Amino acid sequence: MNCDLHCHSGYAGGVGNISLVDIEKTMPLKGIDIVGTGDVLQKQWLNTLKSSFAEEGSGLFATAPEANVRFVLQTEIIFTSPVGEGRKMVHHVLLFPSFESVDLCRELMNKWDVKLNIGRPFIKCTGKEDLTRRLYNIHEIDPLIESIPAHVMTPDGVYGSKNPVTSMKQFYGEGIDIINSVETGLSADPTILGQIPELDDFTLISNSDAHSAQLHRMGREFTTLNVRKNDFPSIIHAIRDNHVCCTAEFNPTEGRYFLTGHRKGKKGHGDRYCMYSPSFTPGGGKCPICKKQLTIGVLERSQILKEAQGGDDRDWGYRPKNSPDFVHMVPLVEIIAYTLGIRSSTSKRVIGTYHNMIEYLGNECAMWFMNEAEIEKRLIGNVEESLLSNILMIKKGDFNFSPMGYDGTYGRLSIGERRDIFGVREEHLIGGQATLDRW
């Protein structure tokens, strides 16, 4: 069962209008069976879901019995709590087994004076003990409610660079005892998280955290679970017992926070930027352009946490025994747009080509688990030769993102050569003139 359990509605900040109809059209093309509703604690969206879904008695929901997609009631919340001299905000996913449990959670949060008119409610805590109590209060509503730290390595994840901690327990306190899994996030994968000893005992899952229903957003990450039945309890037990067959990962070098740096357009930057692999970050983590603290990337954070948690014996590529198999994916519409020389992944020509390919592939996700011979067999003579060639090069690893993702900016696809993730130092320090070093 392919599950994408973290998405958003149009009621979350920075999200366009996402309808259930859009999701039901997109997910079968991608190959996703189960998808999170997003923002289920927000009243208007909750009412939309209640009026749209037929209860199936399984904790999974659909707009009609014949629909190909089933939904899990899900939201992202933001815990805030004191850390060091400031407050740390950590994004967190909740999964619910029923509308009744959602309503009870809304009642609980109303008692805490949490504003529920936004897609991602903020839960303000006075410290670890208060946060622990609130997590337990949520789980006391129903034992099948699941809590999952979201995109753990990005700046707003528990391990992120904003008011950083060196262990999850520093933030969650004893509440960590009811957390069973963590979400890898777009800028990390099981290899990166394998550097962090604390995560050895947690299930790793992947979700798209989609902020639109476009083909390059939804289903860009997912988790394949080995479930006993197609129902909510089986999904939760598969997560808790680490019955993960594999995860499909957005290539982390495309993710918006992979490398350390400062993007163009920041205050005092103009068109100047800089980005670094861990060994090239300037002393003190200060930007050579604006002299402020750089946004520390996921790759560098993983190395910091490895050292802080005593993982010095973990060479790059180390994976604990419970780490799932995984595959890297590049959104197919991005490959098509690159091949056709079209800037937008949502253009009519790109989408038309995509639909034509799906007729031969079955769905997009299936393609990433096919070997090169099978892909060639299905597509040869049915797509342009250059497009097939680019797909096969990506399957072989002959591509990179240049620049790689950094400081809130997605990486840009470049097919034909590989690039060492530990050898990047790019600096554009003088307006109109670049100084660039790559090793």
User: Number of structural domains, the chain?
Assistant: 3
- Residue where a domain stops, chosen among 224, 254, 284: 254
Nearest Cα to 342, choosing from 413, 420, 439?
413
Question: Has residue 316 been placed in a domain?
Answer: no
Task: With cut-offs at 50, 70 and 90, classify the pLDDT of residue 438.
Answer: very low
Question: Has residue 250 been placed in a domain?
Answer: yes
Answer yes or no: do 188 and 240 share one domain. Answer: yes
Contacts of 419 (CB under 8 A, 6+ apart): 253, 400, 401, 402, 404
Query: Mind listing the pLDDT tens digit for each residue in 137-178?
Result: 999 999 999 999 999 999 999 999 999 999 999 999 999 999
Which regions of 139-207 does DSSP assign to beta strands (E)? 146-149, 181-183, 203-205
Residue 303 above 80 pLDDT?
Answer: yes
Answer yes or no: do 105 and 222 share one domain. Answer: yes
Task: With cut-offs at 50, 70 and 90, classify the pLDDT of residue 437.
Answer: very low
Query: Mind listing the pLDDT tens digit for each residue in 384-409?
Result: 999 999 999 999 999 999 999 999 99
Residue 16 above 70 pLDDT?
Answer: no
Answer yes or no: do 203 and 265 share one domain. Answer: no
Question: Has residue 188 been placed in a domain?
Answer: yes
Answer yes or no: do 390 and 405 share one domain. Answer: no
Question: Has residue 391 been placed in a domain?
Answer: yes
Answer yes or no: do 39 and 133 share one domain. Answer: yes
Q: What was the pLDDT predicted at 84?
A: 84
Question: Has residue 153 been placed in a domain?
Answer: yes
pTM: 0.94
Q: What do you get for the CA distance between the two ends of the chain, in Å?
A: 42
The CA distance from 307 to 222, in Å, is: 29
Query: Mind listing the pLDDT tens digit for each residue in 19-71?
Result: 888 888 899 999 999 999 999 999 999 999 999 998 667 999 999 888 889 99
Q: What was the pLDDT predicted at 430?
A: 59
Query: Mind listing the pLDDT tens digit for each residue in 317-364?
Result: 999 988 889 999 999 999 999 999 999 999 999 999 999 999 999 999
Question: Has residue 322 been placed in a domain?
Answer: no
- Residue where a domain stops, chosen among 203, 225, 254: 254
Answer yes or no: do 239 and 131 share one domain. Answer: yes
Question: Has residue 319 been placed in a domain?
Answer: no
Answer yes or no: do 267 and 365 share one domain. Answer: no
- Residue where a domain stops, chosen among 225, 254, 283: 254
Eight-class DSSP state of 174: G
Strand partners, 425: 276, 437
Q: Could you tell me the residue range of the domain that residue 355 belongs to?
A: 330-396
R_g of the chain, CA atoms, integer Å: 22
Question: Has residue 69 been placed in a domain?
Answer: yes
Q: What was the pLDDT predicted at 212?
A: 80
CATH number, domain containing residue 215: 3.20.20.140
Answer yes or no: do 181 and 264 share one domain. Answer: no
Answer yes or no: do 287 and 365 share one domain. Answer: no
Q: What was the pLDDT predicted at 55?
A: 67
Query: Mind listing the pLDDT tens digit for each residue in 207-255?
Result: 999 888 888 998 999 999 999 899 999 999 999 999 999 999 999 999 9
- Amino acid identity for residue 291 in this structure: K
Answer yes or no: do 428 and 343 share one domain. Answer: no
Answer yes or no: do 244 and 276 share one domain. Answer: no
Answer yes or no: do 240 and 268 share one domain. Answer: no
